[in-house]
Structure 1
Amino acid sequence: MTQFTLPTAPSPLILEDVIIRHGDQTLVAVDARVPPGEVLTLMGPSGVGKSTLLAQVAGFLAPVFQASGRIRLGDDDLTRRPPERRRLGLLFQDPLLFPHLSVGGNLAFGMPVGGGRRRRRQAVEAALADIGLAGFADRDPATLSGGQRARVALMRVLLAEPRAMLLDEPFSKLDAALRDEMRRLVFARIRARGLPTLMVTHDRDDAEAAGGRVIELA
């Protein structure tokens, strides 16, 4: 679990001349600054390197790729820091809830250590109430609907107190109605918490809902 740290003021996410290569081929070249509370969207078809860039930012780029440039949160250089010490929240197209834990157990999993069991339980209950799932703490994740699982996955990320967010096609497996609902929920939480966010998608509606800068990858 993440070690307890005092909250810090939001900082911009900075990709400083980040280039990813595979052999002699350059897959991605990005130089960008994402202010707190804003979303930078990377668009393009499958295979252009969108998720590969997220992997580099998160710290788990596969050894088959070569990367250069720096990744920073404000003045904090993350480039060579292990993934667990970067404090980045990842949200994928699948909720990836732990089947052996209850809904409450899933939410508590990534929370910073400290505060005592009662305080953690209260934080979980407040988080569930915030997403319209009050009283669901003891539920088995398998009993949730797709939209409920997506909301729990989002809140699990936020309870870990990330300093920035990485979104990898987070709405692609939801039906149209749930997609609109989750877009509003995710982007509202990002703005409220001042989290700089990098999102990859092939859906232009995602980019329009995010409302930030868009980079097209060919």
Structure 2
Amino acid sequence: MHTHTHRTTRRAAALVLALTTGLTLAACGSDDSDADASPSATHTDADGQVHNDADVAFATEMIPHHAQAVQMVAMTRGRPLDPAVRRLAEDIRAAQTPEIETMVDWLTAWGEDVPATSMDHAHAGHGSDGMDGMDMSGTDGMDDMPGMMSTEEMQDLSDASDDAFQDMWLRMMIEHHEGAIEMAGTESEDGVYDDALALADSIATSQQREIDTMQGLLD
């Protein structure tokens, strides 16, 4: 799968920050528009590769889904966590941030809108590698995505006591991962773009492994 390895961590962090600051989705559309789209409608790219509407939907929906997971990782900062949970949170951030960049690149190359922000805003480099100032309202309108946490659930996690936070975070992240695996399965069934199919397979495999780890941490 092609990725742009020359991009910096700062650009990735700025992009994720922009995606999780409560801006409305520009590309997800309504339930009606999703129903009207045909996942099998194909488009030939300038390089000869083919993608379809299912590939567009996969990237458009997985970007904010991943961004919420990265937001949940940011919420672990300053919390007393077991070392294994701390490592897991960092693994999630390290995996999903570049995946967001990859999917943004696809949508940009396809002439599709990037959800929640524009590339110009993402490239502006405002903010830092941190996630301070995130708006919990960023999940509004996305609750119908599999595994997506509501605004209220995210606020509950933010407000949780230190004693309750770790188990709550693990249970929420398990649900979040299960949703991502469901979305990846839809892409595997309906998509045609080779890189998107490869990413869907990688998400399903890696996030199931992380689910197994998290379930073990809860036992």
**TM-score normalized by the length of structure 1:** 0.30
Q: Which structure: greater strand fraction?
A: 1
Q: Which structure: greater helix fraction?
A: 2
